[in-house]
């Protein structure tokens, strides 16, 4: 594990804008005041992921974790900021270089049914990309697909079937085989096990851990399930409304969360070893990302909020070696 990050995000933002439609433009011409709606899905996030590291990205729905995953995987271009792959800005790479870089970053989605083409046989789903990219020749494809399927624990004899002929867990394995087929260095797993049953989740999690060991893969593991992240990740990054609120080595974070939101989130994870507990939830809901609260986004729900919190957004600062948190309380 070297110290230079394999992948780094520098002040990456992603905004989604809903443009005005014709009627609204006419209203504006007539003296109305309709504005474009802007969602800051990801708001100046900086993050470095070292080779071989598993980073867990946690947050509730609407916090921007999936958007961030898509920016990392190259599905969305960032609205601002830079994505660096092995120290080089992806945006300034030449076409061929960029293709190589993006091929090394593969994504595994939540719903294996909607991410596999229902009209393609498994051998084409897995074999198409490596053939197109010239990783294997036409004659080798068949053996290569067999090897990939074995790698993820599927019987190669099933490769002429279609996705609908498989169970959820098997489909997810096909999705993983497809990602592995282009020999990636980095996997972005976006809620990849959320749709599976508990016993199947364990099987797929074990597969991810085996792959990491055997192939030296680096992961960005996006999940709302803190138990899973705790088990798998070396470092955990917690997002709230587009911003990173805390980032820390997994063991330290789970032992002693710093940010009030991280603490609230950890307190509320149902655990199998806590029984008949009294639930003491944080108040309120996640505000709309269209109109986020001023200052610290968490202040309306925070039990420790002070006047400063609604006026000024706290910076993400180092509070201990390797630990970052964005909270005014750390200023004493």
Partner 1 sequence: MIRETVLEVSDLKTHFFTKAGVAKAVDGVSFSLGRGEVLGLVGESGSGKTVTGFSLMGLVDPPGRIVSGSIRLGGEELVGRPEEAWRTLRGRRIAMIFQDPMMTLNPVLRIDTQMIEAIRAHEDISREAARERAREALARVGIPSPDERLAAYPHQFSGGMRQRVAIAIALLNEPEVIVADEPTTALDVTIQAQILYEVQKLCADTGLAMIWITHDLAVVGGLADRVAVMYAGRIVEQGPVDAVLDAPFHPYTHGLIGSVPSHNRRGHRLTQIPGMAPSLLHLPPGCSFAARCPRADAACNEMPALTELSPGRGARCHHPHLAETATGGAA
Footprint on this chain of partner 1 (rule: CB under 8 A): 60-61, 167, 169, 197-203, 205-206, 209-210, 224, 226-228, 230-232, 250-251, 254, 264-265, 267-282, 285-286
CA dist list (Å): 85 to 102, 106, 236 = 9, 13, 20
Rg, Å, the chain Cα set: 22
C-beta separation of 198 from 18 below 8 A: no
Contacts of 309 (CB under 8 A, 6+ apart): 295, 296, 299, 302, 328
Supply the minimum distance, in Å, between the C-beta of residue 253 and partner 1.
11
- Least gap, CB of 29 to partner 1 (angstroms): 30
Q: Which one, 33 or 61, has the nearer CB to partner 1?
A: 61
CB of 204 to partner 1, least distance (A): 9
67 or 201, CB closer to partner 1? 201
Q: How is 6-74 classified by DSSP, letter by letter?
A: EEEEEEEEEEEEE---HHHHHHHHTT-----EEEEEEEEEEEEEETT-EEEEE--TTSSHHHHHHHHHT
How many C-beta atoms surround the C-beta of residue 303 within 10 A? Answer: 9
CB of 173 to partner 1, least distance (A): 12
Q: Which of 202/305 has CB closer to partner 1?
A: 202
Decide whether 74 or 112 has the Cβ nearer to partner 1. 112
CA distance 187 to 229: 15
Nearer to partner 1, 172 or 181 (CB): 172
Q: Which residue, 137 or 288, has its beta carbon nearer to partner 1? A: 288
Please state, as a whole number, how many other Cβ atoms lie within 10 Å of the Cβ of residue 203: 15
Min. distance of Cβ 80 from partner 1 in angstroms? 28
Q: Closest approach of Cβ 262 to partner 1, in Å?
A: 12
């Amino acid at each position: 594990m070297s110290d230079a990050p394999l992948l780094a995000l520098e002040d990456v933002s992603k905004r989604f804008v809903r443009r005005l439609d014709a009627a609204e433009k006419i209203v504006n011409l007539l003296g109305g005041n309709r504005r474009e709606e802007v969602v800051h899905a990801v708001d100046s996030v900086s993050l470095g992921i070292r080779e071989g590291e598993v980073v867990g990205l946690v947050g509730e729905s609407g916090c921007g974790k999936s958007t961030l995953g898509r920016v990392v995987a190259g599905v969305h271009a960032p609205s601002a900021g830079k994505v660096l792959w092995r120290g080089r800005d992806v945006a300034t790479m030449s076409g061929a270089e960029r293709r190589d870089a993006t091929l090394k970053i593969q994504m595994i989605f939540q719903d294996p049914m909607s991410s596999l083409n229902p009209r393609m046989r498994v051998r084409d789903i897995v074999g198409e990309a490596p053939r197109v990219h010239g990783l294997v020749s036409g004659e080798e494809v068949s053996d290569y697909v067999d090897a990939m399927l074995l790698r993820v624990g599927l019987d190669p004899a099933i490769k002429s079937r279609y996705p609908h002929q498989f169970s959820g867990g098997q489909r997810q394995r096909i999705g993983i085989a497809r990602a592995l087929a282009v020999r990636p260095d980095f996997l972005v797993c976006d809620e990849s096990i959320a749709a599976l049953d508990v016993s199947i989740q364990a099987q797929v999690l074990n597969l991810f851990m085996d792959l990491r060991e055997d192939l030296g893969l680096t992961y960005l593991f996006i999940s709302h399930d803190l138990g899973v992240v705790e088990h798998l990740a070396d470092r955990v990054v917690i997002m709230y409304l587009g911003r990173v609120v805390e980032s820390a080595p997994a063991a330290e974070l789970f032992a002693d969360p710093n940010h009030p939101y991280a603490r609230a989130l950890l307190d509320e994870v149902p655990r199998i070893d806590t029984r008949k507990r009294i639930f003491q939830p944080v108040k309120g809901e996640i505000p709309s990302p269209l109109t986020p609260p001023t200052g610290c986004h968490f202040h309306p729900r925070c039990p420790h909020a002070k006047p400063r919190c609604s006026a000024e957004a706290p910076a993400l600062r180092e509070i201990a070696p390797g630990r970052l948190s964005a909270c005014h309380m750390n200023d004493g």
